Amino acid sequence: MSMFCFQCQEALKNAGCTSKGVCGKTDDTANMMDLLMHVIKGTTFFAYEIRKNNMTVDDEVNHFVMDGLFSTITNANFDKEAIRQRVYRGFEVRDRLRKQLEKNGISFNDEELKDACTWTGETDGALDMKAENVGVLQTENEDVRSLRELVTYGVKGIAAYAEHAYNLGHKKDEIYAFMERALAGTLDDSLSVDDLVSLTLETGKYGVEVMALLDQANTSRYGNPEMTSVNLGVRNNPAILISGHDLRDMEDLLQQTEGSGVDVYTHSEMLPANYYPAFKKYDHFVGNYGNSWWKQKEEFESFNGPILFTTNCIVPPRKNAGYKDRIYTTGASGLDGATHIPARENDGMKDFSQIIEHAKKCDPPKEIETGEIVGGFAHNQVMQLADKVVDAVKSGAIRKFFVMAGCDGRMKSRQYYTDFAQELPDDTVILTAGCAKYRYNKLGLGDIGGIPRVLDAGQCNDSYSLAVIAMKLKEVFELNDINDLPIEYNIAWYEQKAVIVLLALLSLGVKDIHLGPTLPAFLSPNVANVLVDKFGISGIGEPKEDVEMFMAK
């Protein structure tokens, strides 16, 4: 075993990747990420101590923690050296916090501190050696390990969303304080299994908070998403494809490409950018190109122009891929060999001129599909249709809603979600968010009295919108329990943002969620039982039988 990682749904044999990631992560990059997590946890230990002593943790620390966590999310960063630089920076940030405490008379004995709080390496070689000897398996008890990782992955999801909000100038210290306390908690041997279960549930509560913060950040700057037909075809200009989740990068790119003769298309999780009024106004913003993240190897070849990754999901290109030199990364994302666009300074714009010049030399994209898809059903838009929706439910025209938010993935077993959507009776509506939608958003499932049968709220973080819609419907129908609504939950997960979406739904009291295509490898049998007993979580079966089971409820 040269590495160990089990943080995503595609963990090898649903147990863990041990020599190379199914995602394409090499063992030495995976180990360097373990070392980064180690140093981040040490940093959060001191940050938490600072807060306990009523002192302030500064922005640099919060941002280091956020960005570092984000860079370890599945498919965000494949650049080992970029991760290594974060480790070196972590030593500085962590040790500065310790000094801050010592200056205020709070000192620690090295022997009493965890290795994560003290270990420092001065050379790349020392870091490489250490990286092989830290990580998940250091926690021997499998239930404690499972809960620590569940909290850690939830916090990674929080960090990703907090970073997007941060980039839009929306900061919330309570969220940073929680991330630090929670991660410090994963180093604390005195926490019992029950304590860790409580910490897991609290993680979900902050998941709701951070998604609300990001919703506020996005909608206050770009307007409320509105019902939109998104073009899937192409025009005859050179173009840039933008992928990932960061809307601030989208804004900067649209502004800088305006009048340049270069078009902009969204890819994968950036599709929902098409729904925002502030972006729709640009004539050179053409629409969406391609499908879910895992199809990029084929689709990037035919796109012909440069591709900008603002976040996950990157699939490392094959050695001889023709589009390799057209990939750019920015923010927490990274890829060995790709050009990385540096961070913005003093809240100014990022400089995308290099990508724009590159695009001008490229052929226009090759058309791979035509037509349109409809989306933009975030909470504000759905509430504007509320009367229609409520009438349709009361008249029986809509019998049930199915929340099918989450992630997509490359495994064949995900055909389940396409089949499930097709098996659903005509009087049902799918509520979706995240890239899970690509399994059924082009099926042409029709509408019910003008309400499309697939309502796409947006990116995975817009699962928050689905929760807001559920809570509003609960009010309208004067119900006491969110679980009494005619809404079923059949969620697809892949990476750690889906973990926080799941924990957020649990914290809102949603029960009986079905999770697939497999339950997480990091859930030990005992921890899985807690989730089953407390929340009625279960897996998936066959599409037809599952539809029958849900409809009979």
CA terminus-to-terminus distance, the chain = 46
Residue nearer to ligand SF4 on the CB measure, 23 or 327: 23
497 binds, among ligand SF3, ligand SF4, none (CB under 5 to 8 A by kind): ligand SF3
Q: Is 72 in the site for ligand SF3 (CB under 6 A)?
A: no
Binding-residue total with ligand SF4 (CB under 6 A): 13
Of 9-17, 298-306, 401-409, 456-464, the segment contacting ligand SF4 by CB under 6 A is 9-17
11 binds, among ligand SF3, ligand SF4, none (CB under 5 to 8 A by kind): ligand SF4
Residue that is written with structure tokens 């980039």 in the block: 167
Q: Shortest distance, CB of residue 464 to ligand SF3, whole angstroms?
A: 12
Stretch 25-44 residues interacting with ligand SF4 (CB under 6 A)? 25, 30
Q: Is 497 in the site for ligand SF3 (CB under 6 A)?
A: yes
Strands of 180-318, DSSP E: 228-231, 239-243, 263-266, 285-288, 307-309
Q: Is residue 366 within 8 Å of residue 377, measured between CB atoms?
A: no
**Tokens describing residue 533:** 């007993």
Q: Is 323 in the site for ligand SF3 (CB under 6 A)?
A: no
Based on DSSP, count helices (H) and strands (E) in the chain, helices before strands. Answer: 19, 15
Of 30-38, 84-92, 352-360, 494-502, the segment contacting ligand SF3 by CB under 6 A is 494-502
Of 63-71, 130-138, 182-190, 493-501, the segment contacting ligand SF3 by CB under 6 A is 493-501
Q: Is 215 in the site for ligand SF3 (CB under 6 A)?
A: no
Query: Peptide bond preceding 316: is omega within 30 degrees of 0, i.e. cis?
Result: no
DSSP code for 321? -
Q: Is 17 in the site for ligand SF4 (CB under 6 A)?
A: yes
Q: Is residue 491 within 8 Å of residue 514, measured between CB atoms?
A: yes
Give the ranges where 4-58 is alpha helix by DSSP (H).
27-52
φ, ψ for residue 239 (rounded to 5)? -150, 160
CB burial of residue 516 (10 Å; 0-12, 13-18, 19+) = buried
What is the distance between the alpha carbons of residues 33 and 84, in angstroms, rounded to a whole number? 8
298: Cβ contacts below 8 Å, ≥ 6 apart: none
Among residues 1, 2, 5, 128, which is the contact residue for ligand SF4, using CB under 6 A? 5
Give the ranges where 459-542 is alpha helix by DSSP (H).
463-476, 496-507, 525-535
Q: Shortest distance, CB of residue 23 to ligand SF4, whole angstroms?
A: 3
Q: Is 494 in the site for ligand SF3 (CB under 6 A)?
A: yes
332 binds, among ligand SF4, ligand SF3, none (CB under 5 to 8 A by kind): none
**Tokens describing residue 197:** 């279960």
Q: Is 23 in the site for ligand SF4 (CB under 6 A)?
A: yes
Q: Is 459 in the site for ligand SF3 (CB under 6 A)?
A: yes
Q: Is 269 in the site for ligand SF3 (CB under 6 A)?
A: yes
Stretch 506-535 residues interacting with ligand SF4 (CB under 6 A)? none
Minimal CB distance residue for ligand SF4: 21
Stretch 73-132 residues interacting with ligand SF4 (CB under 6 A)? 74
Among residues 159, 404, 460, 467, which is the contact residue for ligand SF3, using CB under 6 A? 460
What is the distance between the alpha carbons of residues 440 and 421, in angstroms, rounded to a whole number? 6
Tell me the angle at which helices 142-167 and 173-185 cross, rounded to the nearest 10 degrees.
160
What is the distance between the alpha carbons of residues 441 and 205, in angstroms, rounded to a whole number? 30
Among residues 293, 300, 464, 489, which is the contact residue for ligand SF3, using CB under 6 A? 293
Residue nearer to ligand SF4 on the CB measure, 295 or 400: 295
Q: What are the CA-CA distances from residue 277 to residues 167, 221, 247, 363, 387 (Å)?
A: 19, 10, 13, 29, 23
Of 56-64, 424-432, 495-503, 536-544, the segment contacting ligand SF3 by CB under 6 A is 495-503
Q: Is 21 in the site for ligand SF4 (CB under 6 A)?
A: yes
Long-range contacts of 502-506 (CB under 8 A, 24+ apart): 502/204, 503/150, 503/154, 503/200, 503/201, 503/203, 503/204, 503/207, 504/204, 504/205, 504/207, 504/208, 504/211, 504/463, 504/464, 504/467, 505/204, 505/463, 505/467, 506/201, 506/204, 506/535
Among residues 1, 7, 66, 543, which is the contact residue for ligand SF4, using CB under 6 A? 7
Q: Is 495 in the site for ligand SF3 (CB under 6 A)?
A: yes
Of 110-118, 150-158, 253-261, 491-499, the segment contacting ligand SF3 by CB under 6 A is 491-499
Among residues 11, 57, 473, 523, which is the contact residue for ligand SF4, using CB under 6 A? 11
DSSP code for 499? H
Q: Shortest distance, CB of residue 27 to ligand SF4, whole angstroms?
A: 9
Binding site for ligand SF4 (CB under 6 A): 5-8, 10-11, 17, 21-23, 25, 30, 74
Provide the binding-site residues for ligand SF3, judged by CB under 6 A.
Answer: 75, 245, 268-269, 293, 312-313, 407-408, 434-435, 459-460, 494-495, 497-498
